[in-house]
Structure 1
Amino acid sequence: MYTKQEENGRIVYSDDEINDDDGDDETNENNQSQVKAIIDHPLMRTVYAIHYDPIIYRLYAVSGRLGQSHAMGFTFSVHPESFGQSITTWEPNDKFGDPHDLALSVNGRSLYVGEIRPNRIDSFNVLN
């Protein structure tokens, strides 16, 4: 399971199973998923949206503006042999305003980023 820590500028990969250390069937107050890895990048100051592509082992993220840093997109490998490695960064020709969410097309060839200022959708070709 991948979750974004928006203001910490990182992505956390954790197992999605609830740990039950006492073997009891009752709910344990300490049941929490275990953090397996953290993905971060020096240019990723915030993380507003993420999308996992299990077909080609990629994780896409889009950051927001913070201070002097501008918003941009990131592609990371989540393949077991290269987990967390940055593959590329990306942005539209006229820069992002305030990106808010992202989605991958059904065929995996296009990545869409929705922005709230300006109100627009940016489209990017996905390279394998």
Structure 2
Amino acid sequence: MAHLPTPVAIHILQGLACFDTPEQVAASVKVNFGLVLTRQRIEAWHPERRAGAKLGAHWREMFYETRAKLLAEMENIPIACRSYRLILLQRMADRAEAAGNLPLAIKVLEQAARETSEH
């Protein structure tokens, strides 16, 4: 396997750590770096996959630091917050009802019920 430039390797690792699929990462590498990489080549950078079992300690550490940072920052993404989603759903339900679109209002209410149910 040919060596990848460090910026490409970091890009791949960060994409995988942020839950992008190997296909999504390959498409991003093609757009950003002009390189065409296979899904298997990308997956070799994922320490939680069999293909990434031999990934070096430095890269593993970077993967897990990136993943931890993403998970910690999810609180700051409004749509990741249930109350924010419910506020938006309330607005949609109000608009659908005001427009007389009762089937849409019912769908929005069903989604709100799913948001509030404990899984």
TM-score category, normalised to shorter length: under 0.3
TM-score by length of 1: 0.21
Q: Which has the larger radius of gyration?
A: 2
Name whichever structure is richer in strand by fraction.
Answer: 1
Name whichever structure is richer in helix by fraction.
Answer: 2
